[in-house]
């Protein structure tokens, strides 16, 4: 599946987790979380450093979420992203989206090697706006 089709498949999923979500409005973890909510997604914040993000409960890890999500958006550095990938594989989540700067070639290879639908290089905020402005 080409990257464009893969991105569309993921954006059609409506239950997301943002790993690295933050209450800091200057950070991408905050902007992405709010953008997904803005477009009507059911989205869960994941970050052990916060109790809430944008007034919503924030969970320490994927295993703490109240339900299984369809897609995980990774907004942490590569040193933490590999642990996130291990959790995604462990919990049987099929879709993972690595934001620019959150991965290494080895992480992408591991993700694709595990059979996950993997998006990287593209920013979910840009893609959400692009698709929604085409409507």
pLDDT for 28 = 96
Best CA proximity match to 60, nearest among 69, 73, 47, 71: 47
Q: How far is CA 106 from CA 71, 81, 109, in A?
A: 20, 11, 5
pLDDT for 30 = 97
pLDDT for 65 = 97
pLDDT for 134 = 65
pLDDT in single tens digits along all 135 residues of the chain: 799 999 999 999 999 999 999 999 999 999 999 999 999 999 999 999 999 999 999 999 999 999 999 999 999 999 999 999 999 999 999 999 999 999 999 999 999 999 999 999 899 999 999 988 865
pLDDT for 133 = 84
Q: What angle is formed at CA 33 by the lines to CA 58 and CA 125, rounded to 5 degrees?
A: 160
CATH (residue range 3-133):
3.40.50.720
Task: Name the strand (E) or helix (H) holding 59.
Answer: strand 56-59
Best CA proximity match to 97, nearest among 81, 114, 83: 81
Q: Which residue has the tokens 């089709």?
A: 5
């Amino acid at each position: 599946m080409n990257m464009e089709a893969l991105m569309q498949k993921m954006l059609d999923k409506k239950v997301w987790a943002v790993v690295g979500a933050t209450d800091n409005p200057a950070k991408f973890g905050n902007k992405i979380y709010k953008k997904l909510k803005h477009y009507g997604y059911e989205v869960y914040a994941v970050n052990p450093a916060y109790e809430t993000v944008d007034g919503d409960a924030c969970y320490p890890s994927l295993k703490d979420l109240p339900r299984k999500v369809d897609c995980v958006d990774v907004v942490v550095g590569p040193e933490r992203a590999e642990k996130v990938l291990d959790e995604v594989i462990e919990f049987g989540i099929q879709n993972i989206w690595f934001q620019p700067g959150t991965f290494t070639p080895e992480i992408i290879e591991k993700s694709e090697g595990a059979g996950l639908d993997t998006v990287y290089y593209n920013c979910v905020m840009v893609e959400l706006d692009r698709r929604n402005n085409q409507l």
